[in-house]
């Protein structure tokens, strides 16, 4: 019998309606459009507004779209994994909330915390449940509501991130499509450069942590940039070598959208032409675990059965990795 692989058979995405432009940000903090564009490539990002809105609302919209495209119902889902660092609650998991809101009564699930690598980590993890033959329909979500943990008086972080995310459906395939390989890495010593300092068991919420703004994203941008640019490029080149892929064999690079300069360095290291690189950072900024599924969602109509995709990310943790995926369908 042929080996079972986990193929992506449908995709959904969601970005909130509200557009926060560089111009509007420059009325909030000491920044300007020229600085943000030249240092990051971002022009605008989306923000989820509204009383009672949370990460699960982004996930639900993305998954609903995916189910409708595939023509199946929420009760068909076996497992739903959410890669995120901005869960609705510390517990229960956002996966539980999403399954409840969707009516996915036969599913179980969990959240996976790997910051900007959250989607790749979750995709690799979800694929295992398909490859073993245990499940037939696994939904993998990558989404974040970064506006909920950003300090909009800190120009070094608030200009970078946005809200949004996407979801993919994994189903068994025996013709070799889907997740082919991945290389995942972690180095927890990087936590000092990029983290949310309080709100966990190390520093539970207190008046002091709130006064010290420790519930917001803390990032030493320059240090993170150095690690990101080297490691994302290295791991992307490594997965090509491991699978004997030349630049010609790679149809698309699907890179985490943290900074245009990191994306360019990764493509260059892989020997890829810029035309093969998916980029939407200018519109959505860095949506953390949301960036890669949002790219796949936007590019879906251009993707062809058999296309070789390299997904690649670097993020807080530190976490990083690359995943080789053979696209399984033509959408039109
Ligand atoms: O996605 C997860 C992983 N995260 C990343 O991959 C992010 C990696 N880091 C980066 O992308 C970049 O480091 C940033 C975009 C965050 C910052 O760019 P940079 O070129 O490294 O700038 P910098 O932090 O070295 O700051 C340069 C200058 C500083 O002023 P001085 O000290 O030179 O006078 C900053 O205070 O730019 C200043 N600055 C700003 N100016 C205008 C910092 N933020 C802003 C801003 N507007 N928003």
What separation in Å is there between the alpha carbon of 47 and the centre of ligand 1?
21
Average pLDDT over every residue of 261-274: 96
Instruction: Take atom 23 of ligand 1 and give the residue whose Cα is closest.
Output: 222
Q: Residue 91: pLDDT band by 50, 70, 90 thresholds?
A: very high
Average pLDDT over every residue of 73-99: 98
**What tokens were used for 1?**
């019998």
Could you confirm whether 59 is annotated as catalytic?
no
CB-neighbour burial class of residue 164 (10 A; exposed 0-12, middle 13-18, buried 19+): buried
**Distances from the Cα of 226 to the Cα of 138, 231, 232, 299, angstroms:** 35, 9, 10, 29
Cβ(158) – ligand 1 distance below 6 Å:
no
Which is nearest to 294 in space by CA: 113, 137, 141, 161? 141
Whether the full predicted model's pTM is greater than 0.85, yes or no, is yes
Cβ(22) – ligand 1 distance below 6 Å:
no
Task: Convert the pLDDT of each residue in 151-179 to its tens digit.
Answer: 999 999 999 999 999 999 999 999 999 99
Instruction: Take atom 1 of ligand 1 and give the residue whose Cα is closest.
Output: 258
Helix locations, 180-220, DSSP H: 207-211
Residue 326 near residue 176, CB atoms below 8 Å: yes
Could you confirm whether 286 is annotated as catalytic?
yes
What separation in Å is there between the alpha carbon of 222 and the centre of ligand 1?
7
Cβ(258) – ligand 1 distance below 6 Å:
yes
Strands 218-219 and 194-195: antiparallel
Residue to mutate, 27, 38, 39, ligand 1, most ligand atoms under 8 Å from C-beta: 39
Q: What is the C-alpha separation between 3 and 20, in angstroms, rounded?
A: 46
Cβ(286) – ligand 1 distance below 6 Å:
yes
Q: Is the pLDDT of residue 332 over 90?
A: no
Cβ(217) – ligand 1 distance below 6 Å:
no
**What tokens were used for 318?**
């530190």
Q: Residue 1: pLDDT band by 50, 70, 90 thresholds?
A: low
Average pLDDT over every residue of 225-244: 97
**Angle, to 10 degrees, between the axis of helix 55-70 and the axis of helix 94-102?**
50
Which is nearest to 232 in space by CA: 260, 274, 192, 194? 260
Q: Residue 2: pLDDT band by 50, 70, 90 thresholds?
A: confident
Instruction: Take atom 16 of ligand 1 and give the residue whose Cα is closest.
Output: 221
Q: Residue 294: pLDDT band by 50, 70, 90 thresholds?
A: very high
Q: What is the C-alpha separation between 143 and 203, in angstroms, rounded?
A: 25
Q: Which residues pair with 324 in a beta bridge?
A: 181, 310
Per-residue confidence (pLDDT) for residue 297, from 0 to 100: 98
Q: What residues have CB less than 8 Å from 84, skipping those under 6 apart?
A: 55, 94, 111, 112, 113, 118, 141, 142, 143, 144, 165, 288, 289
Could you confirm whether 330 is annotated as catalytic?
no
Task: Convert the pLDDT of each residue in 301-326 to its tens digit.
Answer: 999 999 999 999 999 999 999 999 99
Q: What is the C-alpha separation between 130 and 138, in angstroms, rounded?
A: 7
Average pLDDT over every residue of 22-49: 98
Residue 160 near residue 218, CB atoms below 8 Å: no
DSSP assignment string, 258-270: S-HHHHHHHHHHH
Number of Cβ within a 10 Å radius of residue 156: 15
Per-residue confidence (pLDDT) for residue 100, from 0 to 100: 98
Q: Which domains does the chain have, with CATH numbers?
A: 5-175 (3.40.47.10), 180-280+291-326 (3.40.47.10)
């Amino acid at each position: 019998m042929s080996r079972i692989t986990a193929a992506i058979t449908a995709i959904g995405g969601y970005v909130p309606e509200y557009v926060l432009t560089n111009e509007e940000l420059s009325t909030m903090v000491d920044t300007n459009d020229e600085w943000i564009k030249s240092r990051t490539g971002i022009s605008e990002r989306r923000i989820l507004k509204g009383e009672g809105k949370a990460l699960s609302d982004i996930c639900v919209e993305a998954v609903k779209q995916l189910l409708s495209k595939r023509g199946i119902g929420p009760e068909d889902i076996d497992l739903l994994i959410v890669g995120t660092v901005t869960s609705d609650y510390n517990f229960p998991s956002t996966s539980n909330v999403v399954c409840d809101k969707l009516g996915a009564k036969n599913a179980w699930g969990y959240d996976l915390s790997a910051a900007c690598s959250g989607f790749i980590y979750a995709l690799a993890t979800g694929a295992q449940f398909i490859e073993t033959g245990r499940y037939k329909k696994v939904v993998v979500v990558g989404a974040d509501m970064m506006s909920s943990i950003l300090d909009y008086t800190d120009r070094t972080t608030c200009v970078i991130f946005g809200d949004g995310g996407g979801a993919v459906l994994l189903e068994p395939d025996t013709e070799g499509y889907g997740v082919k390989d991945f290389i995942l890495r972690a180095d927890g010593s990087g936590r000092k450069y990029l983290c949310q300092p309080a709100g966990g068991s190390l520093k539970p919420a207190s008046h002091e942590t709130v006064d010290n703004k420790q519930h917001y994203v803390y990032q030493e941008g320059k240090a993170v940039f150095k690690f990101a640019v080297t490691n994302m490029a290295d791991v992307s080149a490594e997965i090509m070598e491991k699978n004997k892929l030349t630049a010609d064999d790679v149809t698309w690079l699907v890179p985490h959208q943290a900074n245009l300069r990191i994306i360019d360095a990764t493509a260059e290291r892989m020997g890829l032409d810029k035309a093969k690189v998916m980029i939407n950072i200018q519109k959505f900024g860095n949506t953390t675990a949301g960036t890669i599924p949002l790219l796949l969602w936007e590019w879906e109509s251009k993707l062809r059965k058999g296309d070789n995709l390299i997904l690649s990310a670097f993020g807080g943790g530190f976490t990083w990795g690359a995943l080789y995926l053979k696209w399984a369908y033509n959408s039109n």
